[in-house]
Amino acid sequence: MSVALGTTRPLPVRTTPVGDPGNLLASLPATTPYAWIRNGDGLVGWGEAARVAVPPGPGRFAWARQWLATVLGDAQVDDAVRHPGSGPVAFGSFTFDENAHGSVLVVPRAVLTRRGGRAWLTTIGEAPVKTFSPITDPGRVSYGDGSLSAPEWERVVARAARRIREGELEKVVLARDLVATAERPIDVRLLLMRLARRYPECYTFSVAGLVGATPELLIRRTGQEIESLVLAGTTPRGSDPADDFARGAALFASPKDRHEHECAIASVRETLAPLCSSLTTPDEPELLVLPNVQHLASHVTGRLADGASVLDVVAAMHPTAAVGGTPTRTAIEVIRELEGMDRAGYAGPVGWIDANGDGEWGIALRSGLVQGRRARLFAGGGIMGDSDPAAELAEAQAKFRVMQYALEG
């Protein structure tokens, strides 16, 4: 654990209203950029007032909440805004597998926020000096196999589908990785700019090297109200409007994809019901159309019964059937056995939390781990008993295009 301003005194925090900052991402310096942006609104941060590596294990979310309570709860806060996301804020990324190292929480020294037509700046200690440098292009990007080649991954999909047909489980989500190498160091700010511009309806994020644009909102807590967006069932976009419409109609009518989506909704309902005094799930999904793919999507809303923080809800929900499988415990064991790689933060929770327990957390899909000139990209999909390995590979390749666009423009 590290606390940049020292562990012997509370963090001095000040939040003040500011004028419209314009493009939030344009405010970021080159080093340690943190971001959570959708449709131009959200939070960006820089510098580090406090940072901790969350120990792996089944109690990691409870450990993280206790750390946050200690660091943020003792802060000396001068908050002239008093709105969700004002005061001290922590950005976080948790690994998909609870037993994997790599989960992190960071309290930036400065956070610039725009939400609900208002904007404000939060600083901890003296306002950090931003050292701006021009955003740089990584140049030519080459790609190589990650943990498994495409044919090897297709064989893994076939093995998983056979085990589903044999009755071991209903669904498992399998992922694969791709390694990108650029001519020059990769500027995270450029990736964020491109992702936010191309995928404004997604949540564009950057936390400790994990960068992406996820369409899937795991949970949003505002007071006692919560929201979640469940995605399961995917098809690539069409080559023209007629093909696009036909693909969407086929997805909506697909027994395989509808069953996959029903599994995901049932998992969320089962998890959230004990935490909520009321919970609403739709009878049928809708189509969420993104620039590269179409998803079956369902909005879930509810009201918390006991004042749980957003991180408590994250702990209860992760991993969902949409990124693990059904039954989830069995699916996780199959993933560990067959997938052949460490997912790191891919498909894990990523987002932010304030001192009042409000916040937004997504599932880190359409993402990559960036370090220097290299980026490890991730994609995956839900495998059912009748899944075709070639089709699943094509779906994963379509999802890779999000981060490939971010790298290449």
Number of Cβ within a 10 Å radius of residue 373: 15
Catalytic residue chosen out of the listed positions 48, 98, 216, 360? 216
Q: Rounded to whole angstroms, what are the CA distances from 229 to 269, 281, 298, 351? A: 12, 10, 6, 14
Task: Write the DSSP string, 313-354.
Answer: HHHHHPSPTTTSEESHHHHHHHHHHHS-S--TTTTSEEEEEE
Task: Output b/e per residue, 382-396; b: 16+ Cβ within 10 A.
Answer: bbbbebebeebbebb
- Cα separation, 251 vs 257, whole angstroms: 7
Determine whether 225 is an active site residue: no
Q: If residue 175 lies in a helix (H) or strand (E), which one and from where to where?
A: strand 171-182
- Cα separation, 250 vs 36, whole angstroms: 33
Beta strands in 247-392 (DSSP E): 276-280, 286-289, 293-304, 325-326, 349-354, 359-363, 367-371, 374-383
Determine whether 399 is an active site residue: no
Catalytic residue chosen out of the listed positions 48, 98, 154, 171? 171
Alpha helices in 74-110 (DSSP H): none
- Cα separation, 406 vs 264, whole angstroms: 29
Residues with a known catalytic role: 171, 216
